């Protein structure tokens, strides 16, 4: 178990929609102790257990699972999935959030009143339903629950020194009654990208399953288009897309669907897909210590694509800790 709960800690947090533990890894590094975690996907739970020694509680929409949340903790973390707020634009004031996973987060905040709420989501959340979805979330946090909210879109390539083009919206909300100096909070500054894809790609030949064979129907097009060993490519149905800025394209959850959409590279031994281990590295995971259990590669690809860039979460967590 490479990442046990630290004995000495500065704050307590809970980890909702935990996936494979990206938030947990980051907040433990920032001095936190995880006292509750929830995740419903069985494969992700196996990866979580291998690394943290605990099996997350299941579906957070289940009231029984909610009842296991301890009364008091400092930070609520949730990289919650964004479901369509189907009636978000049709009501005055608060739109009804029932039926969405954000409603479950709202219930937990209302019941437990953490000092801080720390949320992550896709960049498109801001513009979803002409901005109504995001408006509902902000109104719920600010008007209904009384939190002071900060939000910003950050990119892993510009804010975490990880060469992956991954833009996400981050929401940090403080309870002003418990955190008087909440106005001191600032998101981390941009930092120079000094690492290249070669810091994240495995050296030497990888397993044959990752390489395209010369008889593959697209091999000639791949060979013609993929000429550089210093960038990551994407196969787009019938053509190759080169990432001109020499960073990895956004890793997605649908990398797991039969291996499609997995980014491609050219190495000394041929043209191949990134391995699951490399995808975890591009999410900031310490891959020499982090355990990937024996699961189908499609499952591991999906886990990587669904995760957060943990080193970026850690930078934001440290900013939160400075305020606390």
- Residues belonging to the active site: 82
CB contact at 8 A, 240 and 226: yes
Q: How far is residue 181's CA from residue 314's CA, in Å, rounded to a whole number?
A: 21
Give the helix/strand (H/E) hosting 299. Answer: helix 297-306
- If you count them, how many residues does the chain have? 324
Q: Alpha-carbon distance 230 to 246, whole Å?
A: 6
What's the first-to-final CA gap in the chain, in angstroms? 29
Distance CA 115, CA 118 (A): 10
Torsion of CA 24, 29, 30, 34, to 10 degrees: 30
- Tell me the angle at which helices 297-306 and 42-52 cross, rounded to the nearest 10 degrees: 80
List, in sequence order, every residue forming a beta bridge with 37; answer none if it has no partner: 15
CA angle 116, 157, 168 (to 5 degrees): 40
User: What gap in Å lies between CA 154 and CA 167, rounded to an integer?
Assistant: 6
């Amino acid at each position: 178990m490479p990442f046990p709960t630290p004995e000495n800690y500065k704050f307590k947090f809970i980890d909702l929609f935990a996936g494979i533990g990206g938030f947990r890894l980051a907040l433990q590094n920032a001095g936190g102790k995880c006292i509750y975690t929830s995740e419903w996907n069985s494969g992700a739970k196996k990866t979580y257990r291998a690394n943290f020694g605990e099996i997350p509680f299941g579906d957070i929409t289940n009231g029984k699972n909610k009842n296991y949340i301890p009364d008091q903790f400092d930070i609520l973390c949730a990289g919650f999935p964004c479901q369509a707020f189907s009636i978000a634009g049709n009501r005055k004031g608060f739109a009804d959030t029932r039926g969405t996973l954000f409603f479950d987060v709202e219930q937990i905040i209302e019941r437990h009143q953490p000092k801080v709420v720390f949320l992550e989501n896709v960049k498109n959340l801001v513009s979803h339903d002409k901005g109504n979805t995001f408006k509902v979330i902000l109104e719920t946090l600010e008007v209904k629950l009384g939190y002071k909210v900060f939000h910003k879109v950050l990119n892993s390539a510009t804010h975490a020194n990880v060469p992956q083009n991954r833009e996400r919206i981050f929401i940090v909300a403080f309870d002003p009654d418990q955190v008087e100096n909440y106005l001191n909070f600032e998101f981390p500054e941009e930092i120079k990208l000094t690492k290249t894809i070669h810091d994240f790609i495995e050296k030497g030949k990888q397993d044959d399953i990752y390489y395209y064979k010369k008889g593959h129907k697209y091999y000639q097009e791949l060979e013609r288009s993929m000429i550089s060993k210093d960038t990551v490519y994407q196969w787009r149905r019938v053509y190759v897309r080169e990432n001109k800025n020499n960073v990895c394209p956004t890793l997605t959850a649908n990398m797991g669907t039969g291996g499609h959409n997995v980014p491609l590279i050219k190495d000394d031994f041929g043209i191949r897909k990134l391995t699951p281990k490399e995808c975890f590295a591009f999410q900031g995971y310490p891959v020499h210590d982090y355990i990937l259990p024996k699961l189908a590669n499609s499952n591991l690809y999906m886990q990587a694509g669904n995760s957060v860039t943990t080193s970026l979460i850690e930078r934001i967590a440290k900013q939160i800790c400075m305020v606390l």
